[in-house]
Structure 1
C-alpha cells in the first residue's frame, strides 16, 4: 500500500518537514519580535505623547496669536482704545475674550500703562466670573516696544501662570498700544493634555537651586513617591527604571523655568504586550498538530486528481475537447495526461481570445466598432428602431499632457465602466481614444433627453486616482434612425451633432438638418472676421473690478464684442475660437490692446483713473514677435505698465509651460502685471503655479456663483486664497452675483471681485455714467 501511494508519501513527508521548519522559524520570530516590540512600545508611547503635547500647546499659542492679531485689527476696539472710555473698552475687550474662552485679556498703552486687564476665574459656587485684574491701571516696564518683540508666552499674575500672546494696536502706521489674550496653565489644561496623550500630565516650576514646585496635575493629586521621582528627573535629569519620564521647558519666569511633565509606569505598557506574547506562543504550539493533519489531507487531495487526469488522453485522442475527466485510481502517466489537458485548455483559450479581440477594445474590454457594426446592422435589417449616440470625453488631451497617459487611460476605463452600468442601454462601445458609442434598440425618442441627462449625472460624480480628483464630462451627439439610413450615415450625423455640441459648449445635441446650415454660417464668419477687424466692427466692453479693501473700483476688464452689420452682436465665445483656429488671434489681440490703451488715455483726460486688464491667448504666448510688439506698443503709446494687466488662462500655460514661462518672465521683468485667468478649471499643477512669474490668480466663476449654498465651493475657494497668499499672489474672484458672496470674500481677505452684482460688461460711455451713480466709484469722472 505504501509502495502504491509513494507519491502521496513523499508529498506528505515534504509537508511535514516544511511545516516543522516554518513553525520553528515562527516561534523564533515571535520571540525576537516580542523583545524588539517591547522596546519600541516603550519608545513609541512616549514619543507619540510628546508630539501630541507639543502640537496641542503650540496650537494654543498659535490660536492666541491669531486671535490677538484679529482683535488688534478690530476698528471698533481701536476707536474705544483711543477715546479712552474705560468701561466701554473693558466691555469690548471682554467680548473678544469670551469668543475664545480666554482666561485673561489685557491691553497696554504706548507708555506701558495697563489700561485693561480682565481675569476669568471660578467662584466658590463653581461658576465662571470675570473680574478686573490686579495690574489694572499700573505701569509695567515689560510693555516697552522692544520687550514686546521678545515677549515669551508665559505670564505670572496673582500666583497663576498664563499662556499669553500680544498683538500690536496701530492707528495707521503708528503703534498705540498692545492687546493680548491668555489661557491659564492649571489642572484643567493638564487633564486636557492627559485626555489627548493618555499619560498623567502636570506642570512644575524648577531651578537648579530650589526643589521643583508642582503647580497643577491631571486627575487626582500626584503621589509623594512619584513627586520624588519627578523632582529628581526635573532637577538633575535622573531616569527611573519603573517609570517612563518626559519633560519639556515651556518658558522662563524669573529665575525659574516652567516645565511640563508626563510619566507612565513601564509595567502598564508591557502588560498587554506580555499577554499577546503568550497568546502567540500557544497559537504556534496548537497549530503544529493541525498543520500536520492538514498536510496529510493536502497530499491526498493532490494525488487523487492527478490519477484521474489520465482519462483525459482518451477523450483528446477522440477529438472531444469538451469532455470532463472521470474519476480514476491510475497513478502512472499522470504528467502526460496533465500536459494533454493543458494543451486542450490552451487551444480553447486562444480561440476564444482571438474572437474576443476581434470584437472588443483591449483597454476597456468593451465592444469595439466591429461589434457595433455587426449588431446595429442586424438591428436595422430586422426593422428595429435604432438610436446611436457618440460620446467624447472633454479635456482628455489636457489630462494626458498634464498628468500622463497612464492617468488618461484610467479615465478612459472609468468612463467606460460608468457607461456600462447605465440602465436601458443595449450596447456600449469604445471607438477611439476618447470616443464612445451607445446603441439603443426600440428606444422611445421622447426619453432620449432624460437618458442623456442621467448619463451626465453619472459622469458628474467625482473620480479620484492617486489623490488626483477629476471632474468627468462628456459631449454627446445623437442620431435617430430615419428611413433608408445605414450605420455609416447614423455615425456621421451623430458626429455632426457632437461637433455642434462642442462648438456651443453644450452637454448634448440631437441631430437636426439645421446643424449643417450652422456649420456653413461658421465658415462665413471665418471669412468675415478679417474684414471685421479692418472695418472696425469690433468694440470693447468693460466690466468693473472692485478692490475689497477700499470698496472702490480700481480696474476694469476689457472684453471684445463683434457688432456684425447683418447678424448683430456676436459674442466672443463664437468668434474667438474661429480666430484661434484660423491664425487671426494675434491680429485680434493687437486691436484689443491698442483700443484699450487709447481708452485709458481718454479716461485720464476726463479725470478717470482706472487700470485695464486685457486677455492674452495661448496663440499670443507662442509668438515671440507678438510679445515684443506688446512691449514696444505700451512704450510708444505711453501707457504706464502699472496700469495694464495681462490675463492668461491656465490652458494657455499648460500647452507649452517652458515657452509660456519664458515669455511671461520677459513681460514681468519689464514691469507688466500678470494674472492667471479661470484658475481651477484646468489641470495645471501646484509645481507649475509656483514657477509661474505672475502677480495674481482669478478664481473661475464656477466656484463663486454658488459659494453661499455649496460648502465644497467654500472649501475650494478658501484653500485657493490661502495657497495664493502663501505664494505671494493676490486673488480676483469672478462671478460675484450677490452681496453675501462679496462680504464672504472680503472676510476671507480676497483682494478683488467682479461680477454681475457690481456690473455687467458695459460700453465705455455707459461706464462713465455708472461710475457717477455707483457708491463703489473710486474717482468721480469729469463728464464734458
Structure 2
C-alpha cells in the first residue's frame, strides 16, 4: 500500500509532524516574546540606572562648582572688597569674579549684595528668569552653605550655584553659572553607553535641541517625539531608521519653560545577543523536525502494517470465513489486538446462530417477533399476489395488562403473556392450519391468516376473544383478561405489509375504545384519528392564543332568590368554527389528558373573576368542575393553592364539583385528593348526583358539602311524579347527610316554586339565566329580579309525591 495522506500511516506521520511543528513554532513564539520582554526589561533597567548616573553626575558637577564658588566667597581680599562700598572695590570684585569664572570654567558670575540686588555680573546679560531663580536660592544657600539649580538663559540650560559670602554674617552671595553643554553629554555616554540629547523648551512650548551625542539629523526626530509624548517618561524613538527606547529626565523648569535630557538605548543592539540565540534555536528546531518526521514515518509503518493485516482478517470474517488466524506473536498492544481478533472470531461463530434467533424470535414466548412477522407477511403477500388469494392480519392488545403488571409484578405479567401465547397457538392450530401468531412487543400480538376470507378472519377473531375471556390461573391467582382486536386484509384494505399492520392497529385501538369485540378496518376510523390529532393541536394552540372564554351561570337561593354563586363554564371562540361548545371538545380533552391544562385555565380565570367581584363588594361562591384526571393529580391541591394566593382569594370562595363516576374510577386516590382540598377550606360538591354508580356507604365517607341533582330529574318534574319523588328523596338524603342541595336544569318558574316547596337550597338553570360571559356578570346581578314566592296548590307536595 502506498504511503499517502489518506492512509493510516500518512495520517499518523502527518499528525506527529504537525504536532511537532506546532509545538516548535509555539516554543519559538514564546521564546521570541520572552527575548523581547527580557530585552525591554534590560533596556528599562539601563535607562533607569542611566537616569541615576546622570543625576549623580549633575550632583558631582554642582558640588565641584560650589567648591569653586566657595573658594572665592572665602577669599579675604574678596570679602574685604565686598564689605566696602567704594568704586575701586567694585572693580576688584569684577576682576575677582572674572578670574574665578575663568579658573572654574563658569560662563557667568554675579555678586548679590546684602540687599539682594545684583551688584556685579559677568559673562551674560541679566535675565529676569535667571534673577528670579537666583533670588529663590539665596535662603537655601545661606542655610545649607550653598545651593544649586538649573536655569534657562537664552533657551540654554545652565547649572547655577550660589554660595554665601560671610564676614562673619552673610553680606553677599556669589553666583556662578555653568552651561550644560556637549561635554556633559559625552561624559554621560562614556559612563552609561547611552545616547544623550539635551533639550530646552521655550515659552511657546517647542522643544529646542541644545547638545546631543547623536547625529544632527536624528536630533529633530528626538525633539518631535518629545513634542508628542504623553505623561510617561519612557518612549520609543526612531533614530535614523533604528528604534531606540528612550527615557526623558527633567532637569529644570521655570513656568512653561524647562530643560530635559533624553537618554536613549538602541533596541537592536540590546537584542543582538538574543537574536543570535534565536537563530541557533531555529536551527535546532529544523533539525528536530526532520528527525521527528523520520521517526513518525517509521512509527506509523510499524503501527499500520499489522492493522492492515487485521483489517484483511476482519473482511474475511465479514464474508463468514472464520478460519483465518492473525498469526501475530507480539507482546505489545498490536499482539493483544490480534489475540482479541481470534477470540472475537470464535465468539462470533458461536453467537451468530443465537443472534439470528434473537433477531426474529421473541425470547419470552418463543413466538416470532415483529421483524419475523413482517417477513412472514411479505412472503404471504407475495404468494397471495401470485395466486390471487386474500391475506388477513389480526392485531390484538390485551386489556388491563398494565394494571396486572403494576399490582402483581412483572414476573407475573411475563408468565401471563406466556399463557396467552399458548392459548393463541392452541386455538389457531384448531382454526387455521397455515396461521402464524407473533408477539409484536409488550402486550400486543398479531395473527397472520394467509388464504383466509373476511368471514373466516372474523370467526377466528371471535374464537380468540372467547379463548381470552376464560380466566387465567397463575400462582393461585385467577386473572380475567380480554383484548381489543383489529382486522385488516389484502387486497380489501391494503397491498403491502406496512399498510396492513398500520390499518389493523388502527382498528384494534378503535375496538378497545368501543369495547365491542373485533373491529374490521374502515377508512372512516383513520379519518377520525386524523381529526382527533388535529383537535388536540388546535386545543394547545387555543390556550397559547387565548381563544378560550370564561362563561358563568348564576346560582340562587330558591327561598329568597338571592344570587349566592356561579358555576364557571368554558367556551371556545374558534377563529374558523366560531363558538365551540364544551360537548364538542371536553370529552376529547379528558381522553387525551388535556383536561388538566383546561382545568388550570378555568381555575385561574375564576379566581381572577372572584377577586374582581370581591373588590366591588360582591361575594359569590364560584363552582368549578373537576374531571377524573384532575382527581388523580396528587399535586392539584398545591397548584390550586398557588392560584388562590396569587389572586388573593380565600379557599372558602370556591366549590369544586366532581361526578360520582370520576370518584369511582380510583376511589383511594380520589379521596386523598378530595381530603387535601377540603382541608384547605374549599367546598366540595357531588355533581350530577343520581346518575353515577357510587354507594351511599362510600359517599358517606367523602368530605363533600353539596349535592347537585342532575338536570335529567329536574327538567320535567312538574309533569312527572316519578322525577318529583326522586328529587324529593335526594333533597331529604342530602339534608340528612348535612349537605347543601342544589338543583340544576330549572327552566320554568313552576319548577322553581316546586323545588322551593320541597326544601331545595339552591338552583340554576335557563329560567334564571343561560351561561353569560364573566365580564357581564355584574350587570346581570344588578338587573336580576327573583320571582315572587307563591303558594302553589302542591306547595307541601304531599299528595303529589306520596
- With normalisation by structure 1, the TM-score equals 0.35
- With normalisation by structure 2, the TM-score equals 0.35
